[in-house]
Amino acid sequence: MSLDLIDGPKLKQILAAGVDNLVGHKEEVDALNVFPVPDGDTGTNMSLTFQAALREAEKATDDVANILERAAQGALMGARGNSGVIVSQFFRGFARAVGKVDKLGIPEIVRGIVGAANTAYQAVRKPVEGTILTVVREAGEKAQKLQGKEKDPIRFLEQVYKHAEEVLAKTPEMLPTLKQAGVVDAGGKGLLFFFQGVLAGLKGEAVVVRKAAPDEKKQLFARVEDDLDLDPENITFQYCTEFIVRGENMNLETIREDLEPHGDCLLVVGDEKTIKIHIHTNNPGLILDYAVHLGSLSEIDINNMVEQSQQRLEQLRRDQPPQANKEIGLVAVASGEGLQNIFRSLGVDEVISGGQTMNPSTEELYKAVMKVPAKQVIILPNNSNIVMTAGQVGELTDIPVAVVPSKFIPQGIAALMAFAPEESLVHNQEAMTRALSSVVTGEVTFAVRASSINGLEIQEGDIVGLKDGDITCKGKDASAVLLDLLSHCVEEEDSFITIYYGHDINEKEAESVLEKVQALYPDAEVELYYGGQPLYYYLFSVE
């Protein structure tokens, strides 16, 4: 197959192929978790970020620059977790470096990859080699070396991809934590799955992915409608109709030509055996009747956009930004009814449900900030994988937004104790950030896979204790591990221990643990609260 340049329609097609391939392998990426605790969500975060980019790209015109710009905006708003934020920077850097072009050839692709790497490195305060950053940087350097030597974009990208694979295989040698866990970098692996799908799309090959679960299919094929006027009276075609056709020797261009007179916002993507069709029409029955002659139909989804628009209008009226009635507002991320209530009781205006394995997107954080009736806002991420995402919110708002980089729930609570509403935003950010180091954080959870960490041979299902995020001890009983972990955390001069018990611990067991802790540390003031957090049996702070 010969391919000289990539135009707009082809760009949309290969982006979709790349995203489909990544989504189909996201569980494999999730499994490449350096630590055995239940936070392996890199594949999920990257998939959701790429899907957000694709949804925006598909709303663009067939202009290459517009597609890349919309994809970058979608990735920014949909970014989840550190890997998602880095992906959003890839899109942004690629789009900016390519600029206003009608088609992509080898020179534009080289500029794009190099621009993607540079922008991503700039976004990370302390770049670490042996990660997704290394993979994309090396891909850019290889692309530069090949430019002028290779004329065919497919062969060119195959060589870049092969080099990126070799770099990924070396990441355990660059990063000791990867070598210790016996895995390659998860973000780099996810990126290669995307590249793999892009290559398949360029060659016209089908992307082979595992069968998705029903709820996952909805995410995989979600297509956000074009930016329409929300007034229901302005909707020309009432029914958003989507489905999948499976058949043989189907011609995408013929299908587009046949369906185009019957609606707008038409998308026909896939290959000769599997096609996804999306159209806004006033006669869904006619569309389905046409398609049933092509092959078997599945995933049929028909929505009345007039009703949806009416519902959106009502929601918008309810969600009008509040009038600022105070100087500084607070937004925090937490999971578990008890913990969320604690944050609200400490003055947090908006608490977003999320945390480990449930990282909120940039858009979710942005919406929470905009709901706060304040002139300025402070965000407490309370998870290391949300700090970078929170850092992007300030680019989207007209009001100043500061991030206090809390990595654990107890750190977020300690930061709130240092909040002084009468002081400036800068003063509060500095004071609250200093407060993060005033507590030692303990977490008791379970291992999702076998691993060897810090001299501990951990088996799947073992209970593990983490001191400030570092695995310190293990056992078979959550309460026993809590007591063991406390012995590694409590110093003679410490006077406060605060314990939050999770969803899987009953009140009677928690109170029994409280009595044991009080007996072990009679000079310390020990407090017990219901956190209700999932995945973590206990959280605690020592100060």
- Residue-wise pLDDT for 29-48, tens only, equals 888 876 666 665 788 889 98
- Segment 36-79, tens digit of pLDDT: 666 657 888 899 899 999 999 998 888 999 999 999 888 888 88
137: amino acid identity, one letter: R
Which pLDDT value is given to residue 133? 92
Cα separation, 515 vs 319, whole angstroms: 46
Q: How many residues belong to the chain?
A: 543
Listed in sequence order, the residues at least 6 apart from 344 whose beta carbon sits closer than 8 Å to its beta carbon are: 351
Give, as one character, the DSSP assignment of residue 479. Answer: H
Least confident of 67-81, 158-172, 304-318, 494-508: 304-318
pLDDT at 2: 44
Which CATH class, in words, describes the domain spanning 225-313? Answer: alpha beta
> What average pLDDT does this structure show over 492-514?
91
CA distances from 326 to 12, 229, 300, 372, 421 (A): 45, 33, 48, 9, 9
Provide the pLDDT for residue 222. 34
Residue 515 has pLDDT above 50, yes or no: yes
Q: What is the pLDDT of residues 431-445, one digit of tens each?
A: 999 999 999 999 999
What's the pLDDT at 361?
87
- Judge whether residue 230 has pLDDT over 50: no
C-beta separation of 109 from 91 below 8 A? no
* pLDDT for res 398: 85
310 band by pLDDT with thresholds 50, 70 and 90: low
Report the C-alpha gap between 14 and 18 in whole angstroms. 6
Bridge partners, 326 (sequence order): 374
Which pLDDT does position 211 carry in this prediction? 40
pLDDT of res. 431: 94
Contact present, 203 and 1 (Cβ < 8 Å): yes
Higher-confidence residue of 82 and 11: namely: 11
Q: pLDDT digit string (tens) for 457-501? A: 889 899 999 999 999 999 999 999 999 999 999 988 878 999 999
Residues forming beta bridges with residue 440, ordered by sequence position? 542
Q: What is the pLDDT of residue 94?
A: 94
Number of C-alpha atoms within 13 angstroms, CB side, residue 304? 6
pLDDT at 79: 85
Q: What is residue 443's predicted lDDT score, i.e. its pLDDT? A: 95
Which CATH number applies to 8-210? 1.25.40.340
pTM, to two decimals:
0.69
Distance CA 464, CA 429 (A): 33
Show me where the domains of the chain are located. Answer: 8-210, 225-313, 321-436, 441-542
Cβ neighbours of residue 424 under 8 Å, at least 6 residues apart? Answer: none
Domain 321-436 class, CATH top level = alpha beta
φ/ψ region of 263 (left if φ > 0, alpha if ψ in -120 to 50, else beta) reads left
Q: Report the chain's terminal Cα–Cα distance, integer Å.
A: 66
Please compute the mean of the pLDDT values over residues 127-147 and round it to a whole number. Answer: 92
| Average pLDDT of span 93-108 | 92
Return the pLDDT at 228: 35
Q: How confident is the model at residue 273 (pLDDT cuts 50, 70, 90)?
A: confident
Structure tokens at 160: 């870049």
Q: According to the model, what pLDDT value does residue 276 have?
A: 76
What is the chain's mean pLDDT, rounded?
Answer: 85
Q: What pLDDT score does 318 carry?
A: 56
- 260 pLDDT above the threshold of 90: no
Rg of the chain over all Cα atoms, to the nearest angstrom:
25
- Could you tell me the pLDDT band of residue 320, with boundaries at 50, 70 and 90? low
Predicted confidence at residue 322, as pLDDT, reads: 63
How far is 86 from 474, CA to CA, in rounded Å? 33
For 441-542, the fitting CATH number among 2.40.128, 3.30.1180, 1.10.10, 2.60.40 is 3.30.1180
Contact 132, 164 (CB under 8 A): no
Rounded to an integer, what distance in angstroms lies between the CA atom of residue 187 and that of residue 120? 13
Specify the pLDDT at position 40.
59
Q: Which pair of structure tokens corresponds to residue 467?
A: 């001191």
Identify the pLDDT of residue 219: 36
Cα distance between residue 410 and residue 463, in whole Å:
20
Run of H or E residues at 465: strand 463-467
pLDDT digits 0-9 by tens, 170-229 = 999 998 888 877 889 988 999 999 999 999 999 888 766 544 343 433 333 333 333 334
Regarding predicted confidence, which is higher, 316 or 155?
Answer: 155
Cα–Cα dist 216/206, whole Å? 20
Nearest to 413 by CA among 401, 421, 422, 404: 404
Beta-bridge partners for 539: 443, 500
Q: How confident is the model at residue 16 (pLDDT cuts 50, 70, 90)?
A: very high
